[in-house]
């Protein structure tokens, strides 16, 4: 490590609040599926900013669209209309099949808005502010108070209690555990279509179908969190689209802006007409022209560059190569996931392997202490997969 990079890390430790245990590199630039640190070292990136850079780094058309918007208008406020927000909303409705869009600055904010919409729906229906929400154990929805309240990991919540209240936890893919918690106060059931931080667990088609039927029967809102698994990552624009169901509310972020901080919650017309109204919810930056220019261009490039088709072609190859590793090493006990959101499950902590990979020019991340998560840019090729497997295999041999 150069003296320059070492100095930057030392200054960061003095200036930044220590809420992250960062890897000891300072990233400087990116190109395609590669990142470069301040010393010029090249890394194959299989994290993509935690499922953010779907289009890879330094995409010229994306960059040019943002530069053009910078020269026009960065921000107005939501007291006025702006063209990028209108165009982005129309395109989001088209790819999602939802009816109403609210732009936020992040995934956690999208969850907050979704929860408020569900509570307001219940309030208008019953006249009572006692709506209950059923969430899933091992889920992760964000760090703000509402999002944390429906995050099914007590470790994240315990230091910040009390949470928002009226939240119960069931088990993913165990419909009986959900059904047992339903009361006449239940206003929403929230889950990730594929659990991310909780260990790369996809919800089954049977489970999602039964949740949808239960919600229809009892007029409960089904909220699907697609913040990590959405935007083409599973081979569908949104993971739920594979199963012939549709949520009442869904959240999206991460790859929605491909690097620009932006999220959204979307809802059906039924929910839109019977929940949030003027004065109920707002945001200063959400939906501003710059962020929405990013969303609009991202959706254009997804279509133009056949991003989802590439996922469907490369993902089975990634699964095959990961399965080969699983069969080769007895300390790898499982491979699970969907599309280009995969996890290798080990019988031991994986931090040493991830650190060794970083030394060898491969960026990986965990999902829990014993799972390596693979969420690369959606533009990766089979050759990129082979390169990743080669580096990872050498790391497995050395540790």
Q: What confidence tens digit (pLDDT) does each residue in 340-358 have?
A: 999 999 999 999 999 999 9
Burial class of 328 by CB neighbour count within 10 A (0 to 12, 13 to 18, 19+): exposed
Angstrom CA distances, 257 to 62, 112, 137, 249, 326, stand at 10, 19, 28, 20, 34
Checking phi first, is residue 258 left (phi over 0); if not, alpha (psi -120 to 50) or beta?
A: left
Residue 301 has which token pair? 């490039």
Backbone phi, psi, residue 394, to 5°: -65, -35
Task: Determine the length of the chain.
Answer: 399
The predicted structure's pLDDT at residue 187: 98
Q: Rg for the chain (alpha carbons), in Å?
A: 21
Torsion of the alpha carbons at 354, 358, 363 and 367, rounded to the nearest 10:
20
The predicted structure's pLDDT at residue 1: 87
> What secondary structure, in 3-state letters, does 205-246 show?
HHHHHHHHHHHHHHCCEEEEECCCCCCCCCCCCCHHHHCCCC
Strands 341-346 and 332-338: antiparallel
Cα 191 to chain center, whole Å? 12
Low pLDDT (below 50) residues in the chain? none
Which of 327, 336, 379 has the alpha carbon at shortest distance from 56?
379
Angstrom CA distances, 139 to 79, 149, 150, 167, 206, stand at 35, 11, 8, 13, 19
Domains defined for the chain, CATH in brackets: 3-55+306-398 (3.90.1150.10), 62-304 (3.40.640.10)
Please state, as a whole number, how many other Cβ atoms lie within 10 Å of the Cβ of residue 306: 12
Q: To which H or E segment does residue 15 belong?
A: helix 3-15
The predicted structure's pLDDT at residue 399: 80
pTM above 0.85, yes or no: yes
CA distance 388 to 325: 12
């Amino acid at each position: 490590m150069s003296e320059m990079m070492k100095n930057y890390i030392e200054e960061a430790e003095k200036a930044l609040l220590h809420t992250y245990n960062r890897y000891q590199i300072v990233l400087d630039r990116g190109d395609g599926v590669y990142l470069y640190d301040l010393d010029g070292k090249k890394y194959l990136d299989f994290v993509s900013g935690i499922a953010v850079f779907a289009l890879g780094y330094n995409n010229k058309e994306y960059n040019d669209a943002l530069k053009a918007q910078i020269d026009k208008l960065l921000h107005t406020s939501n007291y006025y209309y702006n063209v990028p927000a209108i165009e982005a909303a129309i395109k989001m409705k088209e790819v999602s099949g939802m009816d109403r869009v609210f732009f936020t600055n992040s995934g956690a904010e999208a969850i907050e808005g979704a929860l408020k919409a569900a509570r307001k729906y219940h309030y208008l229906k019953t006249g009572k502010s006692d709506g209950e929400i059923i969430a899933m154990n091992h889920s992760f929805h964000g760090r703000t108070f509402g999002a944390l309240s429906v995050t099914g990991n007590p470790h994240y919540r315990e230091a910040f209690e009390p949470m928002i209240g009226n939240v119960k936890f069931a088990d993913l893919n165990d419909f009986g555990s959900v059904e047992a918690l339903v009361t006449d106060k239940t206003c929403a059931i929230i889950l990730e279509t594929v659990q991310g931080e909780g260990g790369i667990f996809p919800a089954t088609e049977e489970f999602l179908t039964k949740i949808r039927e239960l919600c229809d029967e009892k007029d409960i809102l089904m909220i699907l969190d697609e913040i990590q698994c959405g935007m083409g990552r599973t081979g569908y624009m949104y993971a739920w689209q594979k199963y012939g169901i549709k949520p009442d509310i869904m959240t999206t972020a991460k790859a929605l802006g491909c690097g620009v901080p932006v999220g959204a919650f979307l809802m059906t017309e039924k929910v839109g007409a019977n929940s949030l109204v003027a004065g109920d919810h707002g945001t200063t930056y959400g939906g501003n022209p710059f962020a929405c220019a990013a969303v609009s261009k991202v959706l254009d490039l997804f279509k133009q560059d056949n991003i989802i088709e590439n996922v469907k072609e490369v993902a089975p190859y990634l699964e095959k190569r990961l399965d080969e590793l699983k069969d080769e090493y007895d300390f790898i006990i499982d491979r699970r996931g969907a599309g280009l959101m995969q996890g290798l499950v080990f019988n031991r902590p994986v931090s040493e392997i991830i650190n060794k990979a970083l030394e060898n020019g491969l960026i990986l991340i965990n999902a829990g202490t014993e799972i390596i998560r693979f969420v690369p840019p959606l533009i990766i090729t089979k050759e990129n997969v082979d390169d990743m497997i080669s580096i990872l295999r050498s790391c497995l041999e050395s540790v």
